[in-house]
Amino acid sequence: MYRIAYFTTDWNIDITKATIDGAVEFARERGDVKLYIFNCFGVVADTAKSLGEYSIFSLPDLSDFDAAFVHGNEIVNLGVLRRLGYALDRAGIPVISYEVPVGRAQVLRTDNRAAMYDMTSHVVTVHGARKLFFVRGIESFTEASEREAGFKQACRDLGIAESDVRYFNSDYLYQQAYREIGAYLDAGGKLPDAILCANDSAAMGAAQAVQNHGFLIPDDVIVTGFDNCFEATAYQPQITSVERDYSWASGTSLHNLLRRLEGQEAQVPESRYRLVCAGSCGCMGKLQPDRAILHRYAMSNQFIKDFYHRQGTILGELFEAKDLKDIMEIVEKNAPDLFDTQEYFLVLNRELTETGRRGEGYGEKLLVMASGAFGRRPDSRHVYAEVERHELVPAEMEENHSYFTFYPVHYGLDILGYFVFMAPSRILTLRLMESTISSISSSIENVLSKMELARANARLEYLYNHDPLTDLYNRFGMRSVGEPVYRRLCLSGGAQILFVDMDGMKKINDGFGHDAGDEAISRVAGVIREVCRDERDCFAMRFGGDEFIVISADGKEELADAILRGIERENREGDYPYQLSVSIGLEHAAAADADFLEEKINAADERMYERKKAKKAARE
């Protein structure tokens, strides 16, 4: 069985989906290929969110794979692409990249220069355009520069004067093209004969700006794009574009990778393309768009409306979740609405679930916390399986599926875990996956923050109620814990109150210093803590200075004797320049004394003082 790693992003979902579909179909037909698709929503900028998305590329141990395919022109952050190339080169496995060079990988290319040359020639020779605008893509991208070069070469060959050409920037984005063309028209600029764009998003942005200014396409100006994405086919008028066979490209790439692994010669061919001449250049005239396209658009629009309605309710539930188990149960209950499939599982860093600690990486040990694919219930932690990082998926899942798609679960640079999908989903096709996973990630972070706050509050409460030197309760702890324990014990069989006072503390402080005095107090507190381990039926506090109070159930082992034996053991086993000694006063309390703790403490204090006087008299 061949294991192939596949790296991509959802930069252009139509292209991503078509390319993945081709690879998945190839894997299914072969039967001896497992495809691991590492996908995310990273963008050009090095923001914390974007870099958190790209973290999914660092999840796999590439040495565990036989080959890799990189959808290079979808990974738009060049720094990320370079780091991926270095990692693949170090792994030493065969790699094919689509469109963009990555490390030492072979590259399956479309002749972007020739494609844009052909588009420009069509607009000029068929439609008579002579004044042209060109809307650029991302300047640092090879594809964008090649398309611009093809446009310029066609202009030179076709005799288009440089003065009749104007350039705009878009970074492949609808909004930027819309703003650039809109600003030009707002300033009184004249329309050209045609606006040629580096991709379909820019073409739709430019077209919308033109139409919003009252002009008609293609009557007043031709607009063309590149990629032939679904939105471009549904746009009015349909955008003339360049179509590539993405499924063929990925399937052919995997075929060539396997030939290399099997020791055969594998020449990477050039990717195919064709012009799709449509309404925005006038080739379709005033024809209405294909009814199948309209139907798909209508159904997609309805699904999106229903999805956001359901998601709003689910997000409310997620926001109210108290812990990670709550989140997992909510995710599982709503999985058909959230993911449009039950073939998924959610994996979290184990350390995160145990300590709440986040970090900028994936843990070596992880837990499958939510799933619709296991045929059993989770354990009490809501865990289905534990996996090592290098395993990626549980063995039982790996056996039954030919491909897995991984998405990161993160909050900024804090990596929480990852989702795995084993079936296609409409929410991916309709660009809803990012908001879905982001919402779940945010709910996990929200719960972790709540848990951290609860731990911090618990710690503050502990410090408020405990003496810092001895770690026994203090007077505040007496009110919040000791008094309820005393009352309950009185009403359920009786209580005993011990007043413990250290003997000879002045001699220890004067002879060995106050640090030794603090040490002596801590040692006596340790003995009391050992005797009073069951906090439900025994309460111990430092009453002040070298005095302690112990409240326990009456009828238990005589605590005073246990404390004295503990002091004797400390003196016998400890290597200290002084001896510990305590005097203890004991008072009993019944149900009628439940409201008189202070009086009982005073009585125990008096009994302790009597013991202390008796000791002094015996020494004299």
Query: What string of H, E and C letters represents the secondary structure of 180-225?
Result: HHHHHHHCCCCCCCEEEECCHHHHHHHHHHHHHCCCCCCCCCEEEC
Predicted confidence at residue 478, as pLDDT, reads 94
So what CATH class is 468-619? alpha beta
339 vs 557: which has the higher pLDDT: 339
Q: Per-residue pLDDT for 513 more than 90?
A: yes
Residue written as token pair 């413990």: 500
Q: Per-residue pLDDT for 284 more than 80?
A: no
Mean pLDDT confidence for 546-569: 89
Q: How confident is the model at residue 294 (pLDDT cuts 50, 70, 90)?
A: low
Locate 407 and state its tokens.
């998405």
Distance CA 141, CA 608 (A): 86
Q: How confident is the model at residue 307 (pLDDT cuts 50, 70, 90)?
A: confident
Q: How confident is the model at residue 285 (pLDDT cuts 50, 70, 90)?
A: low
The model's pLDDT over 39-96, given as tens digits with 9 standing for 90+, comes to: 999 988 899 999 999 999 999 999 999 999 999 989 989 999 999 999 999 999 999 9
The model's pLDDT over 362-374, given as tens digits with 9 standing for 90+, comes to: 999 999 999 988 8
What is the DSSP-derived secondary structure letter of residue 424? -
Residue written as token pair 């270095």: 86
Q: Per-residue pLDDT for 620 more than 70?
A: no
Q: Per-residue pLDDT for 463 more than 80?
A: yes
Residue 306, burial from CB neighbour count under 10 angstroms (0-12, 13-18, 19+): exposed
Q: Per-residue pLDDT for 483 more than 90?
A: yes
Distance CA 318, CA 331 (A): 8
Q: How confident is the model at residue 535 (pLDDT cuts 50, 70, 90)?
A: confident
Percent of the chain at pLDDT above 70? 96
Distance CA 372, CA 333 (A): 9
pTM for the model: 0.78
Longest dimension (CA), the chain: 125
Contact between 382 and 329 (Cβ < 8 Å): yes
Distance CA 6, CA 89 (A): 15
Average predicted confidence (pLDDT) for the chain = 91
CATH architecture of 112-244: 3-Layer(aba) Sandwich (3.40)
218 preceded by a cis bond (ω within 30 of 0): yes
Domain ranges of the chain: 112-244, 296-384+427-465, 468-619
Cα angle 351, 357, 358 (rounded to 5 degrees) comes to: 100
Predicted confidence at residue 286, as pLDDT, reads 45
Q: Per-residue pLDDT for 288 more than 60?
A: no
